[in-house]
Amino acid sequence: MKQLNCKKTFVACALFAIASVPFITAGCKKPAAEKKEADTEVIVYAVNCLKVSEGNLDEYIEQGGDVDSVNAVNVLPDMSGKISGIVAKVGQYVTKNQVIAYVDASRPGYDFSESPVKAPIAGRITAITPTIGTMVSQSTSVAKISNTEDLEIKINIPERFIGRIKENQKVEISFDAYPGEIFEATVSEISPVLDTTTRTMQTKVNITQRDNKIKIGMYAKAKLITNTVNNIVIPSSAIVYRDGAPYIFKIDSDAPALGQAKVKICAVTEGITVDDKTEVTGGISSGDVIVVKGQGSLNDGSSVNVISIAE
């Protein structure tokens, strides 16, 4: 009887164990399904975009110099003596032979009439050097007369760039006094010799855009345009490099708009780069919408949320 009871007990336990398996298996199915759903979640990246278009990109050399008059002369006295009177002032326009100052050549035992100092040309007085009582000679400049209508800037071009400079070359002038404003100019004269001390070549830039804002003596920044290309131009920061090659991310849609979209990675061919802009000679076309901010984490086919599209 004991042996039979043991057999019954063993069979009952085995049946219970077998019956329990389906319940254990069923209990494991739900976490597996939840994990699969979590794996299929899509990450959407917020990005800013740009609608690509063609534009000009200028290569340039930038140098600085002071504004001066193209035509300026120093006014010299006819006699040596003491400045006895000044009858003109800086900024005044004078005509040819107009009296600017007087020189008294008298000395102990000799009494002379005052000698007038006259303007040799018509123009505006840009400097008066001596004051009353100053002794001057016939080689001393009493004043400087300039034609303020015709202005130039003298700049020194480093030797390595002289092959890129030519007469009538376009120049853009800017001043700290007028931030954001550009004034037109051209290269008017190139020195035929090189300064062996500084290894530079003096170049004169004529300001072709007449403007009363520009004053003689102002410091100017001159951009000499050495090459201009007309092509697709994009921000350099829009380009990402994968294995050393340049790519951009393009919105994969014929009619991109704000909202969710997908991106496509495109290999591009770079041209010249100036400041923070790069010419693209292949890989994208005018009208394409590319990602310019937020592209660092993207891959081909990534989902994005387009926040803005600049043009």
* Distance from chain centroid for Cα 30: 60
**Rounded Cα distance, 249 and 262, in Å:** 10
Tally of CB atoms within 10 A around 184: 14
Q: Is 275 exposed, middle or buried (0-12, 13-18, 19+ CB in 10 A)?
A: exposed
- Residues paired with residue 66 on neighbouring β-strands, in sequence order: 219
Contact present, 145 and 127 (Cβ < 8 Å): no
pLDDT of residue 278: 94
Residue 223 vs residues 57, 153, 311: alpha-carbon distances, Å: 13, 12, 26
**Strands of 115-118's sheet, edge to edge?**
115-118, 99-104, 81-86, 135-136
DSSP string, 254-306: SS--SEEEEEEEEE-EEEEEETTEEEEEES--TT-EEEEESGGG--TT-EEEE
Residue 52, SS3 per DSSP = coil
pLDDT for residue 114:
93
3-state secondary structure of 98: coil
- pLDDT tens, position by position, 161-197: 999 999 999 999 999 999 999 999 999 999 999 999 9
Q: Each residue's pLDDT tens digit in the chain (311 positions)? A: 444 444 444 444 444 444 444 444 444 444 555 555 555 677 899 999 999 999 999 889 999 999 999 888 999 999 999 999 999 999 899 999 999 999 999 988 888 999 999 999 999 999 999 999 999 999 999 999 998 888 999 999 999 999 999 999 999 999 999 999 999 999 999 999 999 999 999 999 999 988 889 988 899 999 999 888 999 999 999 999 999 999 999 998 765 578 888 999 999 999 999 989 999 999 999 989 999 999 988 999 999 999 999 98
Residue-level pLDDT at 40 = 60
CA distance readout (Å), 165 to 159, 224, 231, 304: 11, 8, 23, 47
Contact 67, 269 (CB under 8 A): no
DSSP string computed for 186-216: EEEEE-SS-BTTTTEEEEEEEE-S--TT--T
Instruction: Report the pLDDT value the prediction gives residue 148, as an integer from 0 to 100.
Output: 83
Residue 220 in contact with residue 67, Cβ under 8 Å? yes
Q: Which residue has the tokens 């009494």?
A: 111
Handedness of CA 140, 144, 145, 146 (dihedral sign): positive
Q: From the CB of residue 207, how many other CB atoms can be counted at a distance below 10 Å? A: 22
